Copies of this chain bind each other. A is one copy, B any other.
Amino acid sequence: MTSHPVSPSVTPYDDMTPVTRAAYRARSAAAELAPLPRAAKDDALLAIADALEVRTQEIVAANAEDVARAREAGTAESIVDRLTLTPERVRAIAADVRHVAALPDPVGEVVRGSTLPNGIDLRQVRVPLGVVGIIYEARPNVTVDAAALCLKSGNAVLLRGSSSAYASNTALVRVVRDAVGGSGLPADSVQLVPGESRDSVRELMRARGLVDVLIPRGGASLIRTVVEESTVPVIETGTGNCHVYVDAETDIDMAVEILINSKAQRPSVCNAAETLLVHQDVAAAFLPRALDALADAGVTVHADERTLAHAGDTRATVVPATTEDWETEYLSYDIAAAVVDSLDAAVAHIRLWSSGHTEAIVTTSQAAARRFTRLVDSTTVAVNASTRFTDGSQFGFGAEIGISTQKLHARGPMGLPELTSTKYIVTGDGNIR
């Protein structure tokens, strides 16, 4: 079933591409990591954190190369900022690694267990996935974050970062590998995928049997490519066309506050709201206040006709919405807005246009809250709370490898348990059928 044999001994190792060779080394490291007790993994994580602090200068110097290259290429300052590593930011990354070390180890957790009628003891226990491939853009902190989370969950990781951060990622991975190797764990537990070209991504996507899962983190086009071209199983992350629905029965102050927080607290992230839906019965009371508040937050409103009708006496910047607005993830100070006839119409709109990330309802009605949470099929449904809470740290998972928007394996914020699989252990006294 695998397109690659599971061991180098049956395949000409020398003929392999660098990516395939890295994947084989990762598999071998994964086999060593899987049975390790928590303490061994935590020691390696703490060694990584220490090394990041001790070798900050080396990391910042490598990063300066990437930053200079980005500036030369005329990259937008906001992206240069995301790319930049300062000594303070490296310290923060080290602190995050220590935080991961402090989290419970998911491996070995007994998920279910029972004694069967024939006396057999059955246990389902968490085990590492094996080799995890992460394909991501820009931010070099993801390099260390992903390595730490994979290591803690007993997985080997193949990191394929953006070529714009290649020098930074190379330095970071060198530091991490030295620390991992120094702790007695296989250094190949953490590898940067060799090569800066698109070919290395393509090879990673075809390494079925060597790589157990690919997690793309980045823009919609990256994620679409990986989902469509990969033969390795993929966990889709990220795209968030999130909705805030203001119900007929609502607390208007609360609705305005949740709307503004959902949209404007940090518009560039996937759990920011992109569309406002307003029940027609509350439109006249709610919309003028909401439109003013959105204007004060600097948000442009892409409004349907019924919303436009309430914009006249407000400070709002409004433009007429087109069909395209309903499906757009702006990630900016823009929001689409529509008045709907009923809660069910809001649900239908969400079902049609949402990317299935997070939808919020603001209501005082218990029946409305119940109906909305039951009918809306997204990773997260929020009642009287901001869409911005869909997040691993907010949910108390301690860390997050991404937010899955698919239904298989993991849905919503993914913490350490989502980086594991399970196996069944059947123990008998010579039982046969």
- Report A's interface with B, CB cutoff 8 A: 1, 3, 5-7, 9-10, 31, 34-35, 114, 116-117, 120, 122, 124, 127, 129-130, 208, 212-213, 220, 223-224, 227-228, 231, 233-236, 239, 251, 254, 257-258, 261, 265, 351-353, 355, 369, 373-375, 377-386, 388-390, 394-396, 405-409, 411-413, 421-433
**Is there an interface contact between A431 and B384, defined as CB atoms closer than 8 Å?**
yes
Question: Which of chain B's residues have a CB closer than 8 A to the CB of A383?
Answer: 425-428
Contact of A231 among B228, B251, B429 (CB under 8 A): B228
Can you tell how many copies of this chain the complex includes?
Answer: 2
> Which B residue sits closest to A130, measured CB to CB?
B407
* A116 and B384 in contact, given A1-B405, A377-B423 (Cβ under 8 angstroms): no
**Is there an interface contact between A224 and B1, defined as CB atoms closer than 8 Å?**
yes
**Is there an interface contact between B355 and A407, defined as CB atoms closer than 8 Å?**
no
Question: Which of chain B's residues have a CB closer than 8 A to the CB of A213?
Answer: 407-408
* 23 A–B pairs (Cβ distance < 8 Å), ordered by A: A1-B239, A7-B352, A9-B352, A31-B375, A35-B375, A116-B395, A117-B396, A129-B407, A228-B231, A258-B430, A265-B432, A373-B425, A380-B423, A382-B425, A382-B427, A382-B428, A383-B425, A383-B427, A384-B427, A385-B426, A385-B428, A385-B431, A412-B423
Q: How far is the CB of A150 from chain B (nearest CB, A)?
A: 14
**Is there an interface contact between B395 and A430, defined as CB atoms closer than 8 Å?**
no
Contact of A428 among B239, B384, B423 (CB under 8 A): B384
* A424 and B405 in contact, given A261-B432, A377-B127 (Cβ under 8 angstroms): no
Q: How far is the CB of A412 from chain B (nearest CB, A)?
A: 5
* A426 and B381 in contact, given A1-B223, A395-B116, A408-B213 (Cβ under 8 angstroms): yes
**Is there an interface contact between A6 and B396, defined as CB atoms closer than 8 Å?**
no
Binding site of A, secondary structure by majority: helix, strand, loop or mixed? mixed
Q: CA A228 – CA B431 in complex, angstroms?
A: 38
* A381 and B425 in contact, given A114-B396, A433-B265 (Cβ under 8 angstroms): yes
**Is there an interface contact between B6 and A431, defined as CB atoms closer than 8 Å?**
no
Q: How far is the CB of A384 from chain B (nearest CB, A)?
A: 5
* A261 and B433 in contact, given A7-B351, A120-B389, A130-B377 (Cβ under 8 angstroms): yes
Question: Which of chain B's residues have a CB closer than 8 A to the CB of A411?
Answer: 421-423
**Is there an interface contact between A233 and B408, defined as CB atoms closer than 8 Å?**
yes
* A258 and B384 in contact, given A407-B421, A424-B379 (Cβ under 8 angstroms): no
**Is there an interface contact between B352 and A394, defined as CB atoms closer than 8 Å?**
no
> Which B residue sits closest to A234, measured CB to CB?
B233
Q: CA A251 – CA B234 in complex, angstroms?
A: 44
* A430 and B257 in contact, given A1-B405, A212-B407 (Cβ under 8 angstroms): yes
Closest 5 CB pairs of A and B: A385-B428, A261-B432, A407-B421, A254-B430, A409-B409
**Is there an interface contact between A426 and B227, defined as CB atoms closer than 8 Å?**
no
Q: CA A117 – CA B395 in complex, angstroms?
A: 9
* A388 and B423 in contact, given A6-B352, A213-B408, A382-B428 (Cβ under 8 angstroms): no
